Amino acid sequence: MPVSSCRLDDLLPHRPPMTLLDEVLSVDLATETLVAAFTARRDWCANWVAIELMAQAAAALAGATDRAEGREGPPRPGLLLGTRRLTLDLPAFTVGRHYTVRAQSVFRDAESASFDCAVLDGARTVASATLNAYRPPDVRAFLAGRRTGGAGESG
Could you read off the pLDDT of 59-105 as tens digits, one per residue?
A: 999 999 999 999 988 888 999 999 999 999 999 999 999 999 999 99
How far, in Å, CA of 1 to CA of 27, rounded?
Answer: 6
What SS3 class is residue 82? strand
Contact present, 24 and 7 (Cβ < 8 Å): yes
- Residue 124 to residue 115: CA distance in whole angstroms: 19
Cis peptide before 17, with omega less than 30 degrees from 0?
A: yes
Q: Which domains does the chain have, with CATH numbers?
A: 3-143 (3.10.129.10)
Residues 54/117, Cβ–Cβ less than 8 Å? yes
Counted residue by residue, the chain has a size of 155
Residue 5 has pLDDT above 70, yes or no: no
